[in-house]
Amino acid sequence: MYAWINLSRRNGLIGALPHSPYYPFHKEENFWLLLADPVSNEVWVSQKVNFMDEAAAITAASKAIQETKEALGASVRDVSSAVIKAIEKVKSGSRLVMGKFQAPAEGTYNLCSYCLCDAWIGCDTKDKLEDQGPKTKSDGD
């Protein structure tokens, strides 16, 4: 699973240090992306996302996009273009989250993605994922 997490603040900063005077050591904010099935109460993917280290995020996103595009047989030009777009996304405040999970049994699942913060209250989000179904071409297309 690949997902882009976008963070935008009113002040334009990408990363911020929370005020935590009673925390025993330096505290950075972290976000967690969860892919979960709320009906069965199962978490399929749990991945930590950090917006403080832009260089590491650029390296990880570039490598992941490059490997994925090359595995799909994309041309060198297409790979390069996709990597450049990924770097621009990271610099504008997005992070690429990658997670692996075992494919479930065939069926319909009502999955949700949750983005939770361990430092701030009120910025957690939840989105339902919709199944687009298999892409088939009808006779009229």
pTM score, whole prediction: 0.74
Q: How far is CA 3 from CA 10, 37, 44, in A?
A: 23, 17, 14
SS (H, E, C) 21-84: CCCCCCCCCCEEEEEEECCCCEEEEEEEECCCCHHHHHHHHHHHHHHHHHHCCCCHHHHHHHHH
Tens-place pLDDT, residues 14-47: 777 788 888 888 888 889 999 999 988 999 999 9
CATH code at 1-51+107-131: 2.60.40.150
Buried b (16+ CB within 10 A) or exposed e, 19-51: eeeeeeeeeebebebbbbeeeeeeebbebebeb
User: Is a pLDDT exceeding 50 seen at residue 138?
Assistant: no
User: Is the predicted pLDDT of residue 135 greater than 80, yes or no?
Assistant: no
Predicted confidence at residue 105, as pLDDT, reads: 86
